[in-house]
Amino acid sequence: MQFKTLADVDVRGKRVVVREDLNVPMKAGRIADDTRLVAALETLRYLRDRGAKTIVVSHLGRPDGKVVPALSLRPVAEELHRRLGSTVAFAPDCVGPAAAEAVAALENGDVLVLENLRFHAEEEDNDPQFAQQLAALGDLYVNDAFGTAHRAHASTEGIARDLPAVAGFLMQKELEALGRLTNDPRHPFVCAIGGAKVKDKVGVFVALLERVDGFVVGGGMANTFLAARGVDVGSSLRDSDLEPAKHIIALADEKGVPIHLPTDAVVSTAFDADENATVVPIDAVDGRMILDIGPETAQAYALVLRGAQTIVFNGPMGVYEKAAYQSGTRTIGEAIAEATKAGADSVVGGGDAAAAAHALGFADAMTHVSTGGGATLEFLEGKTLPGVAALERAALGAGA
């Protein structure tokens, strides 16, 4: 990948349109998880400290092209003000007179947040005229939103056709960290993968089969693989169609890549019957529901992970949100942390994996925790991300 970064350009006095992913979860008008906001701070501080006129654009939620007050970015702007320790202005629209007036009032070093991009349907339609309206606000475009890089939207792809474009520091870190997994990983390379469904990650499995030395599998995904191997998983969550899992198993066997599956599990009579949680061998589920890998499995997985030089953690091993079913994910998280301390390169693959790593306290021990969800999966699959392709195109075209 060839793209320019913030370090390649002089931003002083320039109006810089920065695409951040500030799509933070909100509860009762307050930010419930500030992970994405915190991840954006390095780029925003750099621009502020070097005298740029910083114009932050982002989406929040899915307003479907309508103005939804509950999805306003105003609370996000207020939290950025607190985090940056300097004034952060807010404009009630991202295009039109309100946005233009707010931009015109900026002095060097000022920061401005524009209202939710998705209040305009043209954003997700990648409408050229809307992209040009956004571009008219700035002299330079910085894409720092890896989490939306897999979307060809006006603020991620279209705007880069009308302004010089470079990557922000978060985008740069994401591409470098994930690039190490796909280009030249150190071996042994192990993928700890979980989540609900095999069918959602077939592309990731197939792509990683070309690179990894083994998988350790948990979550509903493990249930599907077990069922595909003829194990009775009772009332556990699993894919109804077992063919994708059988296909992956056949490919893995052909390539000699082991797919490690649970030998024991934490089961219960129902999802909410935590008091009935018990550990059983994997062949003794007896109609119950598997909600976590068992301790024998967790220790076996930990042994595999501690011997790895490259690790990607791409999903929890069980229902980690509940105390009764978080031991499996915690054990492998601790094993990955040990491997990282010993020199391994560890990447947490965004989405549920990142949420689990933060919730169980091992995120800070990882080499990199991705802010992407779908973008991370598509990158690992080898797909072209429109937001990244736009930066590569800009690097080959007119310079910034």
pLDDT single digits (tens) 87-136 = 999 999 999 999 999 999 999 999 999 999 999 999 999 999 999 999 99
* 27 is annotated as an active-site residue: no
* 374 is annotated as an active-site residue: yes
Would 6-174+387-396 and 187-343 be classified into the same CATH topology?
yes
- Look up the pTM and report it: 0.88
Token code pair at residue 86: 């300097």
Identify the pLDDT of residue 244: 94
pLDDT tens-digit map of 33-56: 888 999 999 999 999 999 999 999
**Residue 165 bridge partners (DSSP):** 141
Count Cα atoms within 13 angstroms, Cβ side, for 172.
Answer: 15
Candidates 61, 65, 203, 374; catalytic one: 374
Q: Domain limits of the chain?
A: 6-174+387-396, 187-343
Q: What is the sign of the dihedral through the CA atoms of 130, 132, 138 and 143?
A: positive
Identify the pLDDT of residue 216: 97
**Residue 166 bridge partners (DSSP):** 142
pLDDT tens-digit map of 137-163: 999 999 999 999 999 999 999 999 999
Identify the pLDDT of residue 400: 41
Distance CA 84, CA 79 (A): 9
Given a cut of 80, is residue 350 above it in pLDDT? no
Mean pLDDT of the chain: 94
Token code pair at residue 63: 């307003």
Identify the pLDDT of residue 34: 87
* 197 is annotated as an active-site residue: yes
pLDDT tens-digit map of 265-285: 999 999 999 999 999 999 999
Buried/exposed 40-49: b ≥16 CB within 10 Å, e otherwise:
bbbbbbbbbe
Identify the pLDDT of residue 399: 41
Mean pLDDT of 229-255: 95
- Place 374 in a pLDDT band, splitting at 50, 70 and 90: confident
Distance CA 43, CA 18 (A): 9
* 4 is annotated as an active-site residue: no
Block residue for tokens 């969550």: 237
Mean pLDDT of 200-221: 92
Question: For residue 396, how many other CB atoms are within 10 A of its CB?
Answer: 10
Mean pLDDT of 305-320: 96
Given a cut of 50, is residue 319 above it in pLDDT? yes
- One-character DSSP codes across 363-379: GGGSSEE---SHHHHHH
Identify the pLDDT of residue 60: 96
Identify the pLDDT of residue 200: 82
Cis amide linkage into residue 188, ω under 30° from 0: yes
Mean pLDDT of 244-254: 96
Given a cut of 50, is residue 230 above it in pLDDT? yes
Check: CATH 3.40.50.1260 for 6-174+387-396?
yes
Mean pLDDT of 184-194: 95
Identify the pLDDT of residue 1: 65
Mean pLDDT of 378-389: 92
Candidates 197, 288, 306, 330; catalytic one: 197
Check: CATH 3.40.50.1260 for 187-343?
yes
Identify the pLDDT of residue 377: 86
Candidates 4, 15, 19, 36; catalytic one: 36
Identify the pLDDT of residue 328: 97
Contacts of 198 (CB under 8 A, 6+ apart): 205, 221, 224, 225, 239, 244, 245, 248
- Place 352 in a pLDDT band, splitting at 50, 70 and 90: confident
Candidates 218, 219, 350, 351; catalytic one: 351
Mean pLDDT of 5-11: 95
